[in-house]
């Protein structure tokens, strides 16, 4: 290779230059690395030194834990603003278990508390389980407990190759089993009291206040515990509430008490059947919730918004500070459509009339009255009384049975004939004003079917049939509906029983008979018989006079309301308004007003309905009418239909004698109905009783008299104030 000298030197130079160039750039790279690493250290300084304190605090502060404390439940008022259900404030001593507290610390607090409060009632001791006693014994006698486990036991268990946790549990269980009865019963009364307190303290959920005592907390107890709160970590003195019925008598019975429903105690906690649902809605396990009827149906309204306190705790679980995260709010109040004064009056009427009618009547134990505004569906009264024999004392007592209006059903008899006639029109079987021959009907192989006037009324029209309650007119109508146009004495009954009964049921359902009325209460029944096909065709004829399917008194009042208001089946409701809570004792601002709901319009012409209404008017106001004699208050323009059903007894006394249910449905005034009434008195031994009509008469009277009274009160400007005086014991 020939290299020029000049070239060589240039190459050398270039090489040297290159080398210095490389080291320069290498230095530059190193400088860049230095800058980058310096950046990291600078940033580290910011994170660890400048903000380190903040991060450290963030670690020390554990999660903030929301705590819910209960607020008073909403109150229930009657339609005039009188308090029906309120709350009684209670003093309560609570314990909030922190996450880090140890058993012996809790025991120590329990011992201190036992000196300050008494929790030694029999009820308290009854709650102590065997398991509680065993645990408590082991806690108090650690050495003796250890001695109960022999070396052989340990060796045996070690062979099982359990992990430590399982092993410890086996040992513990074995120790528990070996505690003798004698040892378990060795606790003094003092110790038992400590145990009663201790078991309450440990049964609460962590970080959630659990009530140690809220019954009969004396002022002294409350004060002395309040004074010593600083030595009792977790213990607090607060207020709690208990449900209070304004109109309860000493036996615990009050107007509507069965319909108002009950609230669970905090021991019961959430009802099992809706546990998951309620937990998902943010309830705690020991929350008190409505468990039946209005209290349950309107749980969402009555249950307030719990106060949520967030506790900031340190790592050990000690509460550092509490902040109110969400303000608590009392539950909203309900205003019922019931007028409690009217309700009470109806209760009295029933009690009095039933009381005297029961003489010599072993089976007649109950009476049910539903009163509804036929235009709005507002329940004005829901009244029921039942005589119940106390099993222990063998004494017969009257109990509230308002619930029976929707949960029990009976054969209602002729009261349903309005629906029968209208079904006849609708199917074209009869026309308004048609005459039919009322005489005893004898079909081949069946008993004679006849009206109560056994020889028959002769040729009568529909109005006469309603007025005098002709059965045969309804039988003949039912036969025509079933496809048999003529009656042949001693001939066969050839109707299509399936088609006929289905037609009847479909049309009756338009009035609410046999289906749910849709009242705003849980547990409504629809009666028996629906869907059942009768064995013989004669039963279809019985259906037409209300002696086959059974209906509830509530269905009955919906049915008569549908006729009264001109054909609209309206949904009954017992709650009228929902109000904001107001601590001054007056009703708060209205949140929701329950509007009338029309469930369906019956498929009948207005003229037909009017025609039937004419018939119903005659029942009470025509001297021949079945209700004329007993319903005396003609000035209220009452229309209605009586009913007397032959029915098999299925009540509490056992046996199934054939008895009579006497019923009444009606409304007033007939030219502009504002109240609809159903009266049901089941299980009379005679059909000669008029207790049903007497009750109805009194109920109408009570209603219109009270209406008058309220009107006068309104004039003097005192309406409403009467209610507020008794409101709120909170």
Stretch that binds another protein, among 33-41, 631-639, 711-719, 721-729 (CB under 8 A): 33-41
CB of 272 vs another protein, minimal distance in Å = 37
Among 1, 5, 41, 448, binds another protein (CB under 8 A): 41
Q: Is 115 in the site for another protein (CB under 8 A)?
A: no
**Residue 271 near residue 262, CB atoms below 8 Å:** no
Among 13, 43, 251, 709, binds another protein (CB under 8 A): 43
| Total residues binding another protein (CB under 8 A) | 35
- Residue in 105, 128, 267, 253 with CA at minimum distance from that of residue 185: 128
Q: Is 30 in the site for another protein (CB under 8 A)?
A: yes
**Residue 449 near residue 475, CB atoms below 8 Å:** yes
CB of 315 vs another protein, minimal distance in Å = 8
Stretch that binds another protein, among 41-49, 297-305, 442-450, 580-588 (CB under 8 A): 41-49
Among 34, 277, 325, 452, binds another protein (CB under 8 A): 34
Among 48, 180, 494, 502, binds another protein (CB under 8 A): 48
CB of 313 vs another protein, minimal distance in Å = 15
CB of 100 vs another protein, minimal distance in Å = 16
List the structure tokens of 488: 């042949």
Q: Is 25 in the site for another protein (CB under 8 A)?
A: yes
- Measured from the Cβ of residue 146, the count of other Cβ atoms closer than 10 Å reads 11
- Residue in 653, 679, 655, 649 with CA at minimum distance from that of residue 666: 679
Q: Is 1 in the site for another protein (CB under 8 A)?
A: no
Find the binding residues for another protein in span 321-360 (CB under 8 A): none
Q: Is 279 in the site for another protein (CB under 8 A)?
A: no
List, as own/partner pairs, every contact residues 630-633 make where C-beta atoms lie below 8 angstroms and the sequence separation is at least 24, other chains included.
630/690, 630/693, 630/694, 630/697, 631/666, 631/693, 631/696, 631/697, 631/700, 632/697, 633/697, 633/700, 633/701, 633/704
Among 9, 13, 14, 300, binds another protein (CB under 8 A): 14
Where do the H-state alpha helices sit in 319-388?
A: 340-357
Which of 25, 656 has the CB closer to another protein?
25
Q: Is 28 in the site for another protein (CB under 8 A)?
A: yes
172 phi and psi angles, rounded to 5 deg: -65, -45
C-alpha to C-alpha distance for 628 and 621, rounded to whole angstroms? 6
Stretch that binds another protein, among 44-52, 536-544, 581-589, 622-630 (CB under 8 A): 44-52
List, as own/partner pairs, every contact residues 382-385 make where C-beta atoms lie below 8 angstroms and the sequence separation is at least 24, other chains included.
382/256, 382/259, 382/338, 382/343, 382/406, 382/554, 382/574, 383/255, 383/343, 383/346, 383/347, 383/350, 384/258, 384/350, 384/553, 385/347, 385/350, 385/351, 385/354
**Residue 351 near residue 385, CB atoms below 8 Å:** yes
Where do the H-state alpha helices sit in 358-437?
A: 404-407, 417-427
Side-chain-side CA neighbours of residue 276 (13 Å): 1
Q: Is 653 in the site for another protein (CB under 8 A)?
A: no
Which of 14, 180 has the CB closer to another protein?
14
Which of 16, 712 has the CB closer to another protein?
16
- Measured from the Cβ of residue 18, the count of other Cβ atoms closer than 10 Å reads 10
Which of 25, 389 has the CB closer to another protein?
25
Stretch that binds another protein, among 30-38, 175-183, 318-326, 619-627 (CB under 8 A): 30-38
- Residue in 343, 354, 345 with CA at minimum distance from that of residue 382: 343
Stretch that binds another protein, among 40-48, 108-116, 516-524, 586-594 (CB under 8 A): 40-48
C-alpha to C-alpha distance for 408 and 258, rounded to whole angstroms? 13
Stretch that binds another protein, among 23-31, 376-384, 459-467, 602-610 (CB under 8 A): 23-31
Which of 61, 689 has the CB closer to another protein?
61
Find the binding residues for another protein in span 138-177 (CB under 8 A): none
Which of 47, 711 has the CB closer to another protein?
47
CB of 31 vs another protein, minimal distance in Å = 10
**Pairing of β 76-77 and β 333-336:** parallel
Q: Is 8 in the site for another protein (CB under 8 A)?
A: no
Find the catalytic residue in 284, 383, 414, 561. 414
CB of 37 vs another protein, minimal distance in Å = 5
CB of 47 vs another protein, minimal distance in Å = 5
**DSSP run (H or E) holding 545:** none
Q: Is 51 in the site for another protein (CB under 8 A)?
A: yes
> What is the chain's Cα-based Rg?
39
- Measured from the Cβ of residue 600, the count of other Cβ atoms closer than 10 Å reads 14
Which of 41, 658 has the CB closer to another protein?
41
CB of 16 vs another protein, minimal distance in Å = 12
Angle at 710 between CA 704 and CA 712, to 5 degrees: 105
Q: Is 300 in the site for another protein (CB under 8 A)?
A: no
Q: Is 16 in the site for another protein (CB under 8 A)?
A: no
SS (H, E, C) 629-687: CCCCCHHHCCEEEEEEEEEECCCCCCCCCEEEEEEEEEEECCCCCCEEEEEEEEEECCC
Which of 31, 277 has the CB closer to another protein?
31
Taking the CA atoms of 179, 181, 184 and 188 in sequence, report the sign of the dihedral they define: negative
Largest CA distance in the chain: 156
Among 1, 2, 5, 49, binds another protein (CB under 8 A): 49
C-alpha to C-alpha distance for 346 and 337, rounded to whole angstroms? 15
450 phi and psi angles, rounded to 5 deg: -145, 170
Does residue 230 sit in helix, strand or coil?
helix
Q: At what angle do helices 471-481 and 497-510 cross, to 10 degrees?
A: 110
Stretch that binds another protein, among 56-64, 369-377, 497-505, 513-521 (CB under 8 A): 56-64
- Residue in 568, 561, 577, 570 with CA at minimum distance from that of residue 667: 561
**DSSP run (H or E) holding 92:** strand 83-95
Q: Is 56 in the site for another protein (CB under 8 A)?
A: yes
Which of 37, 277 has the CB closer to another protein?
37
CB of 35 vs another protein, minimal distance in Å = 10
Stretch that binds another protein, among 22-30, 332-340, 476-484, 665-673 (CB under 8 A): 22-30
Q: Mask: binding to another protein, 569-608, rule CB under 8 A, as x and -?
A: ----------------------------------------
Does residue 178 sit in helix, strand or coil?
helix
Stretch that binds another protein, among 55-63, 76-84, 273-281, 437-445 (CB under 8 A): 55-63
Q: Is 316 in the site for another protein (CB under 8 A)?
A: no
Q: Is 39 in the site for another protein (CB under 8 A)?
A: yes
CB of 162 vs another protein, minimal distance in Å = 20
Among 11, 316, 324, 533, binds another protein (CB under 8 A): 11
State yes or no: is 414 an active-site residue: yes
Find the binding residues for another protein in span 367-396 (CB under 8 A): none
DSSP string, 453-474: STT--EEEEHHHHHHTT-HHHH
- Residue in 93, 94, 75 with CA at minimum distance from that of residue 85: 75
CB of 59 vs another protein, minimal distance in Å = 5
Q: Is 708 in the site for another protein (CB under 8 A)?
A: no
C-alpha to C-alpha distance for 212 and 235, rounded to whole angstroms? 9
Give the interface with another protein as residue ranges (CB under 8 A).
11, 14, 18-19, 21-23, 25-30, 33-34, 36-37, 39-41, 43-45, 47-49, 51-56, 58-59, 315
Catalytic residues: 414
């Amino acid at each position: 290779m020939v290299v020029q000298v000049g070239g060589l030197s240039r190459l050398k130079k270039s090489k040297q230059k290159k080398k210095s160039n490389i080291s320069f750039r290498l230095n530059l790279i190193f400088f860049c690395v230095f800058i980058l690493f310096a950046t990291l250290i600078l940033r580290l300084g910011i994170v660890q030194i400048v903000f380190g304190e903040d991060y450290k605090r963030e670690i020390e502060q554990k999660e903030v834990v929301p705590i819910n404390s209960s607020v008073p439940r909403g109150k229930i008022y009657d339609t005039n603003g009188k308090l029906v259900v309120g709350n009684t404030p209670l003093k309560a001593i609570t314990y909030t278990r922190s996450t880090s507290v140890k058993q012996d610390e809790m025991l120590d607090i329990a011992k201190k508390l036992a000196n300050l409060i008494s929790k030694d009632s029999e009820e308290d001791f009854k709650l102590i389980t065997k398991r509680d006693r065993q645990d408590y014994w082991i806690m108090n006698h650690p050495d003796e407990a250890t001695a109960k486990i022999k070396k052989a036991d340990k060796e045996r268990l070690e062979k099982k190759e359990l992990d430590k946790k399982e092993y410890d549990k086996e040992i513990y269980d074995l120790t528990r089993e070996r505690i003798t009865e004698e040892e378990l019963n060795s606790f003094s009364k003092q110790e038992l009291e400590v145990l009663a307190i201790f078991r309450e303290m440990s049964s609460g959920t962590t970080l959630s206040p659990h009530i140690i005592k809220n019954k009969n907390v004396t002022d002294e107890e409350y004060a002395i515990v309040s004074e010593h709160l600083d030595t009792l970590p977790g213990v607090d003195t607060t207020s709690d509430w208990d449900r209070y019925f304004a109109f309860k008598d000493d036996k615990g019975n009050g107007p509507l008490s069965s319909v108002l429903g009950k609230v669970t105690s905090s021991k019961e906690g959430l009802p099992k059947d809706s546990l998951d649902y309620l937990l998902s809605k943010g309830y705690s396990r020991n929350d008190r919730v409505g468990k039946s009827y209005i209290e349950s149906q309107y749980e969402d309204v009555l249950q307030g918004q719990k106060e949520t306190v967030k506790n900031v705790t340190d790592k050990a679980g000690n509460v550092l500070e509490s902040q109110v995260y969400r303000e608590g709010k009392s539950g909203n109040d309900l205003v019922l459509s019931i007028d409690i004064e009217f309700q009470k009056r109806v209760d009295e009427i029933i009690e009095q009339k039933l009381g005297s009618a029961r003489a010599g009547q072993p089976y007649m134990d109950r009476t049910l009255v539903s009163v509804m505004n036929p235009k709005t569906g507002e329940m004005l009264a829901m009244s029921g009384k039942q005589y119940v024999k106390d099993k222990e004392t063998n004494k017969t007592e009257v109990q509230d049975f308002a619930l029976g209006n929707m949960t029990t059903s009976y054969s209602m008899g002729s009261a349903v004939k309005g629906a029968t006639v209208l079904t006849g029109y609708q199917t074209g079987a009869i026309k308004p004003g048609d005459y039919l021959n009322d005489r005893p009907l004898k079909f081949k192989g069946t008993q004679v079917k006849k009206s109560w006037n056994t020889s028959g009324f002769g040729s009568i029209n529909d109005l006469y049939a309603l007025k005098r309650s002709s059965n045969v007119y309804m039988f003949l109508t039912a036969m025509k509906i079933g496809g048999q146009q003529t009656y042949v004495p001693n001939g066969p009954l050839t109707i299509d029983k399936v088609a006929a009964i289905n037609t009847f049921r479909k049309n009756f359902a338009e009035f609410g008979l046999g289906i749910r009325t849709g009242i705003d209460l849980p547990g409504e029944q629809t009666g028996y018989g629906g869907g059942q096909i009768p064995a013989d065709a004669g039963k279809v004829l019985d259906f037409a006079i209300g002696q086959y399917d059974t209906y509830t008194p509530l269905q009955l009042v919906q049915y008569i309301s549908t006729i009264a208001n001109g054909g609209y089946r309206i949904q009954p409701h017992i709650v009228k308004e929902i109000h904001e809570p107001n601590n001054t004792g007056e009703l708060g601002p209205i949140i929701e007003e329950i509007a009338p709901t029309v469930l369906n319009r019956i498929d009948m012409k207005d003229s037909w309905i009017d025609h039937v209404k004419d018939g119903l008017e005659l029942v009470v106001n025509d001297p021949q009418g079945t209700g004329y004699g007993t319903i005396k208050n003609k000035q209220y323009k009452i229309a209605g239909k009586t009913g007397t059903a032959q029915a098999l007894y299925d009540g509490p006394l056992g046996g199934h004698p054939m008895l009579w249910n006497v019923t009444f449905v009606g409304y007033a005034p007939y030219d502009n109905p504002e109240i609809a009434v159903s009266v049901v008195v089941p299980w009379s031994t005679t059909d000669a009783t008029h207790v049903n009509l007497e009750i109805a008469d009194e109920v109408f009277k009570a209603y219109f008299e009270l209406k008058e009274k309220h009107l006068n009160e309104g004039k003097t400007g005192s309406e409403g104030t009467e209610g507020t005086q008794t409101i709120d014991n909170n």
